Amino acid sequence: MLNWYLQSGKESDVVFSTRIRLARNIKNKPFPGNSEKKDNEIIVEKLEEITPKLGYGLNITRLSKLDNLTRLSLIEKHLISPEFALDKKQTGAIIINEEENICIMVNEEDHLRIQVLSSGLELEHSMALAREIDEKISSLINYAFSPKYGFLTACPTNVGTGMRGSIMVHLPALTLTGNTKKVLEAINNFGMNVRGVYGEGSKSQGDIYQISNKQSLGITEEEIIKNLKAIAEKITEQERLARNYLGKNRIELEDRVYRAYGTLANARLLSSEEAKDLLSSVKLGTDMGIIKELTDKKVNELMLYTKPANLQKYIGKDLDANQRDIKRAEVVKQIINK
Amino acid sequence: MLNWYLQSGKESDVVFSTRIRLARNIKNKPFPGNSEKKDNEIIVEKLEEITPKLGYGLNITRLSKLDNLTRLSLIEKHLISPEFALDKKQTGAIIINEEENICIMVNEEDHLRIQVLSSGLELEHSMALAREIDEKISSLINYAFSPKYGFLTACPTNVGTGMRGSIMVHLPALTLTGNTKKVLEAINNFGMNVRGVYGEGSKSQGDIYQISNKQSLGITEEEIIKNLKAIAEKITEQERLARNYLGKNRIELEDRVYRAYGTLANARLLSSEEAKDLLSSVKLGTDMGIIKELTDKKVNELMLYTKPANLQKYIGKDLDANQRDIKRAEVVKQIINK
């Protein structure tokens, strides 16, 4: 089974991926941020106990067993947060399966962050799967839950459903036509957060933006999904209109995407930042049927393995920045030509 | 027989081409610049009469029979000068062979400008051939010659031997290391002119420079050749040293030349200026054995057929600037992939 981030999904010409995240905490236990290490240890031990009963091929691994490179590679795949990776109290763990489409962070900001990830636009399926897992866990441990507020969470913005739905969208044409800001501001006014790919405060890289619901209280999970789906459809429509517009100057667009492809395929030194920019243009080219030399899977591989930690994972050893730039260019050629 | 400019010659990693030019005038006839049209007409008729006797597959063609595109393509091949191409008095003609390594301009600044061209460094052979042709012509017409000054010419700088030897050199590594100016100034002090490729006052394009002797009076043809050869050897040595120096940062050099190759091979719109710059890097790459995808002949073809007029000759029709940029990119791909 291909890992989720190498697959193509619905509307994946614009919607890169979907994530559903449920924040859950165990009843009568302090939140990880305000607790002693021994309190957190009780949580992780409890999860170690119940994980074998969950199914889905899930296994629990303590972060302390993972080297830095592996942690960084998980951040790059958007499976864990940078803060969580630091594992300050040495009680962090992840419950994850082979396909990596289910990843539960243990002792992040909340005791549990159940995440279901998918390529393309898959809000309903992802929510259904997240709920299934959530129900299994709740049959094995008691959640902190208030009949008035819903699920209790460390940060008040997550109280209620404890749910955050998010999509990552690729908006190269809106960027090229200078309309990204306008479109993203409208989304923001619609009760959605817009962020760079590594969460709050980070800037967009390779024209990829993360859109997620702001509200989790006083709204049902179905409403969150419905709103997010409406936004996804709107932004997909806008991006496709912008691509059609660019397509009217076909030769200029072809020139742009093929120059990016030519540089990517021929450079001998390639930084991760440049690779992101080039891949944004190349993905636009493949998604618009202009570049025929690459499959979607290859583009996904290129996007993953040009990231610093996943590059080193691919190569199988630690590399300094200069060695990475050399190896990145080699790996790009290997993937393109295989 | 391949045209001379598509061939590879001696030292052609640095010396692109060699030209020997002899300025000659017919006795007791006014120089073309100071004469009536009818005087010039007598000259061209005389040359039409003797050309069949010259051999070498030479044919005479009046410029008035050539369309603008053909004249421009001859300028781009450095076979005629831009001023001559204008053919103000309608009495210009060229005596040229199939290989285009012999090209005699009739009624340029002088009655005759005998030119022998070769790829690479070929001063002695070119001079020998120019002399042979010169002797043939002088057996058929009387030259304007003074026992004191030598051959008489329209411009005093050409009086004496009437000879100008020139080489076109490709100096990308000296340019990259910032040493071109220093080296070319030294050459200038050595009694040589350094110019951009289209003659006096023109700026260098694609790191190509033309070096020729200043003096033609009070010096023998052998001395001119000897000096020019010494200069050619010196500059070739300097450029190769600069290439070795760049080669120490092999990966950066490979990156530079392959990025140029990648852009050239993939662009869908290509101006002639950008093509020149890219080809300068690509030629450096092939000459240093870095780029394996291209033969020398292909590089020569790319250098020729990306020039505006020769591009249109290749395509077989007149194109405006925008169409040229599209077709240029197509032709580049055709040549690379054939």
- pLDDT category at A53 given cuts 50, 70, 90 is very high
From chain B, the residues in CB contact with A323 under 8 A are: none
Over residues B23-41, the pLDDT tens digits come to: 999 999 999 988 899 999 9
Contact check, Cβ <8 Å, A259/B263: yes
- Measured in angstroms, the CA of A281 and the nearest CA of chain B are apart by 13
Contact check, Cβ <8 Å, B269/A263: no
Average pLDDT over residues B163-184: 92
The pTM for the full model equals 0.91
Residue B1 above 80 pLDDT? Answer: no
Radius of gyration of chain B (CA): 21
Amino acid sitting at position A126: S
Q: What is the predicted pLDDT for the residue at B216?
A: 82
Residue A302 above 60 pLDDT? Answer: yes
Closest CA to A141 of A57, A216, A36, A51: A51
Q: What is the predicted pLDDT for the residue at A20?
A: 98
Residue B199 above 70 pLDDT? Answer: no
- pLDDT category at B186 given cuts 50, 70, 90 is confident
Return the domain boundaries, chain A.
4-241, 250-337
Average pLDDT over residues B225-252: 96
- pLDDT category at A65 given cuts 50, 70, 90 is very high
Over residues A84-138, the pLDDT tens digits come to: 999 999 999 999 999 999 999 999 999 999 999 999 999 999 999 999 999 999 9
Q: What is the predicted pLDDT for the residue at B277?
A: 94
In this structure, are strands A192-195 and A208-213 parallel, antiparallel, or unpaired? Answer: antiparallel
Average pLDDT of the residues of chain B: 94
Average pLDDT over residues B89-103: 96
Residue A60 above 60 pLDDT? Answer: yes
Burial A166-196 (b: 16+ CB within 10 A, else e): bbbbbbbbbbbbebbeebbeebeeeebbbbe
Q: What is the predicted pLDDT for the residue at A186?
A: 86
Closest residue in B to A291 (Cα–Cα): B266
Over residues B300-328, the pLDDT tens digits come to: 999 999 999 999 999 999 999 999 999 99
Q: What is the predicted pLDDT for the residue at A202?
A: 53
- pLDDT category at A218 given cuts 50, 70, 90 is confident
Contact check, Cβ <8 Å, B267/A258: yes
Q: What is the predicted pLDDT for the residue at B68?
A: 94
* DSSP bridge partners of A15: A169
Residues of B contacting chain A (CB within 8 angstroms): 251-252, 254-255, 258-259, 261-269, 326, 329
Which of A239-248, B128-137, B203-212, B221-230 shows the lowest mean pLDDT across its residues?
B203-212
Residue A200 above 80 pLDDT? Answer: no
Average pLDDT over residues A157-184: 92
- pLDDT category at A198 given cuts 50, 70, 90 is low
Q: What is the predicted pLDDT for the residue at A189?
A: 82
Contact A308, A319 (CB under 8 A): no
What percentage of chain A has pLDDT greater than the value 90? 85
Radius of gyration of chain A (CA): 21
Closest partner residue to B269 among A255, A262, A329, by Cβ? A255
Closest residue in B to A326 (Cα–Cα): B251
| Lookup result for tokens 């800001």 | A181
Which of A60-69, A214-223, B170-179 shows the lowest mean pLDDT across its residues?
A214-223
Q: What is the predicted pLDDT for the residue at A34?
A: 82
Q: What is the predicted pLDDT for the residue at A197?
A: 57
Closest residue in A to B261 (Cα–Cα): A266
Contact B321, B309 (CB under 8 A): no
Q: What is the predicted pLDDT for the residue at A122?
A: 97
- Measured in angstroms, the CA of B271 and the nearest CA of chain A are apart by 12
Closest residue in A to B323 (Cα–Cα): A251
- pLDDT category at B152 given cuts 50, 70, 90 is very high
SS3 percent helix, strand, coil of chain A, rounded to 5, is 50, 15, 35
Q: What is the predicted pLDDT for the residue at A195?
A: 82
Average pLDDT of the residues of chain A: 94
The tokens for B50 are 């003797």
Residue B221 above 90 pLDDT? Answer: yes
Average pLDDT over residues A277-295: 96
Average pLDDT over residues B90-109: 97
Q: What is the predicted pLDDT for the residue at B184?
A: 86
Task: Just give the CATH number of A4-241.
Answer: 3.30.590.10
The tokens for A247 are 């397509």
Q: What is the predicted pLDDT for the residue at A309?
A: 97
The tokens for A306 are 């040009």
Over residues B200-209, the pLDDT tens digits come to: 455 567 899 9
In this structure, are strands B93-96 and B59-62 parallel, antiparallel, or unpaired? Answer: antiparallel
- Measured in angstroms, the CA of B286 and the nearest CA of chain A are apart by 15
Q: What 3-state DSSP class applies to A25? A: coil
- pLDDT category at A190 given cuts 50, 70, 90 is confident
Q: Provide ipTM, 2 decimals.
A: 0.88
Contact check, Cβ <8 Å, A259/B267: yes
- Measured in angstroms, the CA of A179 and the nearest CA of chain B are apart by 25
Q: What is the predicted pLDDT for the residue at A211?
A: 94
What percentage of chain B has pLDDT greater than the value 70? 97
